[in-house]
Structure 1
Amino acid sequence: MAGVSSLDIATPQGPARAHLHLPAGVAPGADGRTRVPGALVLGHGAGGGVGAPDLLAVTAAATGLGLAVALVEQPYRVAGKRVGPRGPALDEAWTAVVAHLRTHALDAPLVTGGRSAGARTACRTALATGAVGVLCLAFPTQPPGRPDAPSRLPELEAAGVPVLVVQGRTDPYGTPAAAPTRTVVPVPGDHSLKKDTGSVAAAVTTWLPTVLPLP
């Protein structure tokens, strides 16, 4: 069974919390850092938490491959708030969390990502955090019923690293097109990605060896 621990991390937006899931039989070294072939750092959606079914399915799949996973709660969630701040504040906190994990907890190449709003944050900060790839679960490309609202597609385009988008076939936010550095995998279900978490995990398991040095 994978080991799990929680770590509170100071950020300019207040304390965030990372829940570290380690593969079975793996423990931190004397310096507190865990050495694995790679690690995922994943954030939650705007109104949800790190217990979302798709996040948990991906965590189980990744630790089964010998990877570490950090599920990150943004400061507003740690403070008990349901509504988060705007993008720049989320990005600032996220960047601080990833930097702390690199320095104090994880000695590994990192894939960042998350579901919905967490995926957007990871795309906007991928280059700043030194991510080798971005995992987007249910990327909210276009707000439903708001054709006048700006598309979030430019955030995907600007990630600057390989991206995997796992999108429900009936997601009201739409599905972005594939691109040379962007893999898009449609799976059964809507924006929640709850209908078939096995397909979500399978898509991620197939993609991860393309960006991380797995055995």
Structure 2
Amino acid sequence: MPRPSELTVPTETGPGRLLVSPAEHPAALLWLGHGAGGGAGARDLVALAETLPRHGVTVVRHEQPWVLAGRRIAPRPAVLDAGWLAAAPAVAELAAGVPVAVGGRSAGARVACRTAAAVGAAAVVCLAFPLHPPGRPERSRAEELLRPTVPVLVAQGTRDAFGTADEITAAAAGAPAVEVLPVGGADHAMAVGRSGPVDQEAALALLAAAVGPFLRRSVPTR
């Protein structure tokens, strides 16, 4: 399998970075954004980058300009969307004609849902979608989750304070394009405690094992 590489992308708010984990013979590309509390090294993003290329999916992890600049607080959603969209031409070039699916964890999942139509995404993969702020279920972001018109997979922890897998399932009721993958015992960081039904390694393996088949079902191949 080819070695990962890095690509700097200019934006109006500074450079962003694409971390490319290429498949040797790609059938699709998965473009992933990170959350508001960290970068591309999040455990679930890394698990997908390490696993999916072996199954014909190139994974591109997108680091937003604010992370590269060393800031601790993410900017407002419109700025995140602009930083993401600025990388779209570079991602299309990396895809080299294969279909592109988008996704990300937490705030990155929101960005992917909001911009899926604009970038022509074939599918969306949401990791720990923040359905609402902790303890504030009335402030639902379900509209963003349901905005894509393409297939959506949501991998959600059963202990996620930003919305459990059951809450995501209820919010997506009646939306046939949305699939929900419960990750037993996982919190918003996809961390599994010692009392969880599976250990950390098994939880991440479950996640990676689900995304590949979802993409094969959802993304048209050449």
Tell me which residue corresponds to 1:194.
191
Length-normalised TM-score, structure 1: 0.89
How far apart are the structure 2 equivalents of 1:71 and 1:83? Answer: 19
Tell me which residue corresponds to 1:30.
none
Residue 219 (structure 2) aligned to one of 209, 212, 215 = 212
Mapped pair 1:162 → 2:146: no
**Which segment is superposed worse, 178-187 or 203-212?**
203-212
Residues 158-187 of structure 1, C-alpha deviation per residue, up to 9 Å, x if partnerless?
Answer: 122111000001111123124200000101
Q: Secondary structure at the match of 1:89?
A: helix
How far apart are the structure 1 equivalents of 2:220 and 2:137? Answer: 41
Amino acid at match of 2:30: L
How far apart are the structure 2 equivalents of 1:36 and 1:2? Answer: 11
How far apart are the structure 2 equivalents of 1:123 and 1:211? Answer: 16
How far apart are the structure 2 equivalents of 1:190 and 1:203? Answer: 18
For residue 146 of structure 1, report the CA deviation from its aligned partner.
2.3
Identity among equivalent positions (%) equals 44
Residue 86 (structure 2) aligned to one of 76, 81, 96 = 96
How far apart are the structure 2 equivalents of 1:180 and 1:48? Answer: 31
Instruction: List alignment gaps of at least 5 residues for structure 1.
Output: 27-34
For residue 203 of structure 1, report the CA deviation from its aligned partner.
1.8
Tell me which residue corresponds to 1:20.
20
Q: How many residues align?
A: 203
Mapped pair 1:184 → 2:180: yes
1:25-36 superposed matches below 5 A: 26=24, 36=26
Residues 4-54 of structure 1, C-alpha deviation per residue, up to 9 Å, x if partnerless?
Answer: 11000011222100011112xx3xxxxxxxx73110100111011111111
**RMSD over equivalenced CA pairs, Å:** 1.6
Matched-pair contact (CA < 8 Å) for 2:99–2:221: no
Q: Secondary structure at the match of 1:139?
A: coil
Residue 99 (structure 2) aligned to one of 109, 126, 130 = 109
Matched-pair contact (CA < 8 Å) for 1:41–1:98: no
Tell me which residue corresponds to 1:29.
none
Tell me which residue corresponds to 1:72.
62
How far apart are the structure 2 equivalents of 1:166 and 1:191? Answer: 10
For residue 213 of structure 1, report the CA deviation from its aligned partner.
4.2
Tell me which residue corresponds to 2:197.
none
Matched-pair contact (CA < 8 Å) for 1:193–1:200: no
For residue 113 of structure 1, report the CA deviation from its aligned partner.
0.5
Amino acid at match of 1:50: A
Matched-pair contact (CA < 8 Å) for 1:2–1:21: yes
How far apart are the structure 2 equivalents of 1:143 and 1:185? Answer: 20
Moved over 4 A (4+): none
Instruction: List alignment gaps of at least 5 residues for structure 2.
Output: 193-202
How far apart are the structure 2 equivalents of 1:206 and 1:128? Answer: 25
Amino acid at match of 1:135: V
For residue 60 of structure 1, report the CA deviation from its aligned partner.
2.1
Matched-pair contact (CA < 8 Å) for 1:54–1:194: no
Amino acid at match of 1:15: P
